Structure 1
Amino acid sequence: MHRAGSSPSPPGVSGVPVSVDARTLTPWRAITAFGLVSLAADMVYEGARSVTGPLLATLGASALAVGLITGAGEAAALLLRLVSGPLADRTARYWALTIFGYGLTAVCVPLLAITPALGAAGLAVAGLLIVAERIGKAIRSPAKSALLASAAGQVGRGRGFAVHKALDQIGAFAGPLLIAALIAVFGTVSPALAFLAIPGAASMLLLVWLRRRFPEPETRHVSEISGHLPRRFYVFAAAVAFSTAGLVTFGLISYHASKTFSLAAVPILYAGAMAAGAVSALISGHSYDKWGARVLYALPALAAATPALALSGSTAAIITGTMLWGAAVGVQDSTVKALVADLVAAPRRATAYGVFAAIQGVAALAGGALAGGLYEHSIPLLAAILAVMQLIAAGLLAVSRA
């Protein structure tokens, strides 16, 4: 296993030098620019995600339907990367895939505003839009992560991914707060969702600006990206898959929280979780560059404690559990990606991100269905089963480090 921040990668995603002109950004500026794109985009989809459970409930969804829709969305966001990752490596169309994926998010989320007006069709249309937005995530993520890994490799991948995630989480924090404020003003969710078209347009403008100032990877021959991914990569992917399956979605958490909190308060709860995610990403990323993969044992620990608290009847426990959920997501979306980049050589990195996410996708779908079904029968049993899954995740993580 390579240690984080060991030998810096050259400028191209492929590891092949690219031509540089005066417009080319330095690594830290490129990381910051990617972070600002994610900040604006996260205001869009995390703002909507903060009210997904209550929105679906008002459209007539049961807890099982919420679990299935949100689980299917996360599965689509992860499974389809099995296609988009290798496609990015084979075609070197990193930027085209990144821009198209962000475009889907910018369009699909504001369209959720019309679903309450569609009557009986509203639930089906909302489900399709939620899944379509997650498909946009699947299309862009491997290509974007490969571009980001190239820049972060020159400054320490733990810190590079952590800074990007922290900026990302600022958007994830601001989006739900914006939604909460707009719901308080209008008294309904539709105008709030429609307003998200503005940060969506901003993310696309920032992305076009960044595209002109970040080196285009050189095209490689297919033979350069052939071969198997390392065994340790697959063991680590299995560990994170168990952890993902055992981490309840915020869709289910918000569905449960809406029985205790007002509709306007649920996005605020989500915003707090995103702030916790930003802090955990920065701490785990810095620690990763210093001490390596051992810091990732925090992930199953955080995930194991989440359901018993977040799905309880106590206001304080729900808040605490949601913050732990946000911290776990922060580690998953930053330090976990840094280790993937260190386990796999640059020409196969987008492919690795795609395979890794596909394995997580299977786990997300199974976990979403399991949590949604068990929620109706026994929350203590649900919490116990998910805790066992986190123990398995910790054991596999130990094997991946052996």
Structure 2
Amino acid sequence: MMYLSQARATDPSRDAAARTPAATGTRGDTARSRVPATVLALGLVSLVTDASAEMVTAILPMYLMYGLGVGYLQLGALDGLHTGATALFRIGGGYAADRFGHSKAVATCGYALSALTKLVFPAVGSAPAVGALVAADRVGKGIRTAPRDALITAAVPEGELGRAFGVHRAMDTCGALLGPLIAFAVLLAVPGGYDTAFLVSFCLAAAGVVVIVAFVRRGPVPTPRERGLVLRERLASLRNPAIRRCTLAAALLGLLTVGDMSFYVGLQRRLDVPAEALPLLPIGTALVFMTAAVPLGVLADRIGRWPLFLCGHLSALPAYLFLWLAPFTGWPATALVLCLYGLFYAATDGVLMAHISPLIPRAARTTGLAVVQTAQSLARAAGALTFGAVAVFSGLGTAFAVFGCAFVAAIVAARLIHRPGKNS
């Protein structure tokens, strides 16, 4: 349909300045100095929700590797499941938000589902049951992610999307940083008090639901014509060559991305970090991510979001190669690798959404964002499983070497596949 196929053929991050107040003088300077309340509220929701989730998941890699004794292949499979469990529900959540014209309500349902799982954790006592609850939590994340990002897009002028997503991701990452610390503090105050930790986790997640209900605006109300579009018609928006190429390039890069759990276990073993410190390694990444997300978001608005997205992947490349060669070990090497990994996330996570959001027509924006996120999540799940298999048969060092070398080719291919400003 022509209605859905209309999208900008140029890089929105380059020409937005001509269409927003930021290019017109002092009024633009004032506008740019403020972050919309909706973005801050959604950032606060993500902060407390991520703190809640990370309280539960911070010790998973150590528990799986050293408690249950799982191997690299099983860890890769679990890492892929953790990443991919959200994927298939993203499109459903995105379509529901577009179909009923209420992104806020769909996002709220996703946050509420994740909160409820925290209440059930103390009642289960088997690994399969815990796995089912983790999957349910990931389903909630899948439902809410695209509607949340659509709300951010609707609340911000196009030329400031990189900054807005950077602010949101920084607050989100602050929650990821606080979660393990809160869990540690609770268990220090109440030794063996896992039920207490789960209760605190639920309270944080419930607070997030209250904030989104009370302080986040509903967003634009779609017209009857926009509401009446079926899923097939909404997916037609992805026929735009720019959207297709961006999705393909992001999925290709995701396929060669090492899963987080495998990355941290590999770092701990290759750089001789004490096993007891494994749950603390994500904190280092989160600190860098939180610090760099806003400056890199602003930089993306100025130089172009897609170039920065590719440069972000160049930060992960030396981290992989370092874990292959391990030229020196210990805490200095660990700090360097975690810094590179944090820059990778800061330059890619929100920047991709800021780049592609304006390309998708409003009537299908949430569905389109969900499709891009689904492609990337499934690719990363496959990549995590593949890395685990290579590590089983060839060792961790070889696995990082293989992924590092393939990553170079993937970055070059992504640059060739998607060139903003080209519509054919």
Q: TM-score range by the shorter chain?
A: 0.7 to 0.9
Output aligned runs, 1:192-203, within 5 Å. 192-203=197-208
Name which one, 1 or 2, has greater alpha-carbon Rg.
Answer: 2
Structure-2 residue corresponding to 1:365: 381
Separation of aligned partners in 1, 2:202 and 2:268: 25
- 2:256 and 2:410 in contact (8 A); partners too: no
CA shift at 1:31, angstroms? 0.9
- 1:310 and 1:318 in contact (8 A); partners too: no
Structure 1 stretch displaced more, 185-194 or 155-164: 185-194
What is the root-mean-square deviation in Å for CA atoms of aligned residues? Answer: 2.8
Separation of aligned partners in 1, 2:258 and 2:268: 16
Output aligned runs, 1:5-16, within 5 Å. 5-6=16-17, 7=19
Output aligned runs, 1:3-402, within 5 Å. 3-4=12-13, 5-6=16-17, 7=19, 28-57=36-65, 58-109=67-118, 111-113=120-122, 118=125, 122-153=126-157, 156-186=160-190, 190=194, 191-211=196-216, 213-215=217-219, 217-221=221-225, 222-223=228-229, 225=234, 227-229=236-238, 230-256=240-266, 265-292=277-304, 293-309=306-322, 314-316=329-331, 317-376=333-392, 377-399=394-416, 400-401=418-419, 402=422
SS at match of 2:12: coil
User: Which runs of no fewer than 5 residues in structure 2 stay unpaired?
Assistant: 1-9, 22-33
Over 3 Å counting, the alpha-carbon distance change for 1:63 and 1:125 in structure 2 is farther
Separation of aligned partners in 1, 2:80 and 2:390: 14
User: Which runs of no fewer than 5 residues in structure 1 stay unpaired?
Assistant: 10-25
- Once the two structures are superposed, residues 131-178 of structure 1 have per-residue CA deviations (whole angstroms, 9 ceiling, x without a partner) of 221111110111111111111236610111111111111111111222
- Calculate the TM-score normalised by the size of structure 1: 0.84
Separation of aligned partners in 2, 1:66 and 1:31: 35
Separation of aligned partners in 2, 1:382 and 1:363: 17
- 1:113 and 1:193 in contact (8 A); partners too: yes
Q: Work out the percentage of aligned pairs sharing the same amino acid.
A: 23
CA shift at 1:248, angstroms? 1.9
Over 3 Å counting, the alpha-carbon distance change for 1:275 and 1:182 in structure 2 is same
Separation of aligned partners in 2, 1:189 and 1:347: 48
CA shift at 1:380, angstroms? 2.4
- Once the two structures are superposed, residues 260-286 of structure 1 have per-residue CA deviations (whole angstroms, 9 ceiling, x without a partner) of 556763343212211211233223211
Structure 1 stretch displaced more, 282-291 or 192-201: 192-201
Structure 1 stretch displaced more, 352-361 or 377-386: 377-386
Separation of aligned partners in 2, 1:339 and 1:52: 33
- Aligned partner letter, 1:272: G
- Aligned partner letter, 2:284: G
Separation of aligned partners in 1, 2:405 and 2:369: 26
- Calculate the TM-score normalised by the size of structure 2: 0.80
SS at match of 2:236: coil
Total equivalences in the alignment? 380
